Amino acid sequence: MTHSIVVGAGVVGLSIAWELVKRGHRVTVVERGRIGRQASWAGAGILLPANEQTAVHPLEQLTALSNRLHAEWSAELRSETGIDNGYQVCGGVYLARSAGEQAALAGLQSFWDECQIKYCPMSSKELAKRYNFIETSQIRAAMSVPEEAQIRNPLHLLALESVCQLRGVDLVSHAEEVVFETQGNELVAIRLGERRITADVFCVAAGAWSSQVLSPLGIQLPMIPVRGQMLLYQSSRFVLKTILNEGSRYIVPRQDGHLLVGSTTEEAGFQSLTTAEGIRELKEFAERLIPKLTSERLLNSWAGLRPATYDGFPYLGKIPNWENGFVATGHFKVGLQQSTGTAVLMAELIETQTPTVEMAVFAPSRVPEFGV
């Protein structure tokens, strides 16, 4: 039986672990902190619409594959663990307030046309009628996108952790620093302090920290942590069911009346604390769009670090120069969404099958330093 070690227990690492264990691998996941408490916990869980039939670029294909799998995985997770991850096709509304946002929305519209993704322009009268709590006076354009979906990411992580446990994955949390043991161009084991774990396959899925994990192997993957801050409100004075998107900001309604407001996009190194400025910006955005929020309870705020790559594509594939080493990271703003497809593609690569999606654009070896 192949023994695979996954380093990092975010949504990407846990999803890969589940996919591998389903395929008959023995799996160990090594996490230096708590399971699933970094970017994957901090995110909003928005699943943007995609179309598997029309997707041409591998990145679109990964997204579309992932969307189909989210529906299937959510049902499987519920039946295996009893945990409902809150998957729902709740729809989204895209709003443009400034001329720039209007131009960006027109660009999105062309993209949706090309991909045959359903959308419907909304007049300001319709918008005001359907969402009588939104301040619509400065909204220049609105589009309804019925296939936008969401998962409640903390519950999704809980379900993944639980299914991994039920399937016998060895989940090592609060682990000491991973030290790789090598022989020639193969990885043979990791050391965690006194503990040594040998394996056949090693996969690094350590989010924004992946580059640090790989650096002792002589691999410098260009990556930047990009902070995103979030607010959590409780709504009691109005009912929102669809996701509201305006530029890079959004309000995501959960089924229990919680509203997530996100997010900022900041290069602040590995600082994952919220700032007064970030919170103020998000409050201003949310309360300008829904004035009733000023009298709702702001329950919480937090921040997470998105793993960004130098060219905007994730790193999915073999670690350059290492035979049995793999990496899966760099999903930036869409890692929750692309985690399911990533897990399947990585498992296919690890098992030397032809991957469902052409993976050359994702190969870490595309980094100029490694030469393609």
Q: Which spans of this chain sit near ligand FAD (rule: CB under 6 A)? A: 7-13, 30-33, 38-40, 42-46, 175, 178, 205-209, 213, 228, 230, 262-263, 304, 306-307, 329, 331-337
Measure the CA–CA gap between 325 and 355, rounded to whole angstroms.
Answer: 17
Find the shortest distance in angstroms from Cβ 213 to ligand FAD. 5
In which region does residue 130 sit, left (phi positive, over 0), alpha (psi from -120 to 50) or beta (all else)? alpha
Nearer to ligand FAD, 242 or 329 (CB): 329
Find the shortest distance in angstroms from Cβ 267 to ligand FAD. 13
153 class by beta-carbon count within 10 Å (0-12 exposed, 13-18 middle, 19+ buried): buried
Find the shortest distance in angstroms from Cβ 227 to ligand FAD. 7
Find the shortest distance in angstroms from Cβ 103 to ligand FAD. 23
Give 29-84 as a DSSP string. EE-SSSTT-SHHHHS--EE----TTT--SHHHHHHHHHHHHHHHHHHHHHHHH---
Query: Is there a contact between 18 and 163 (Cβ–Cβ < 8 Å)?
Result: yes
Find the shortest distance in angstroms from Cβ 331 to ligand FAD. 4
Find the shortest distance in angstroms from Cβ 125 to ligand FAD. 30
For the chain, the straight-line distance linking the first and the last C-alpha, in angstroms and rounded, comes to 32
Find the shortest distance in angstroms from Cβ 195 to ligand FAD. 13
Nearer to ligand FAD, 249 or 331 (CB): 331
- What is the DSSP pairing of strand 325-329 with strand 315-318? antiparallel
3-state secondary structure of 163: helix
How many CA atoms lie within 13 Å of 322's alpha carbon, on the beta-carbon side? 27
User: If you search the block for the tokens 């096709």, which residue do you land on?
Assistant: 89
Nearer to ligand FAD, 41 or 119 (CB): 41
Paired strand residues for 68: none
Amino acid present at 75: A
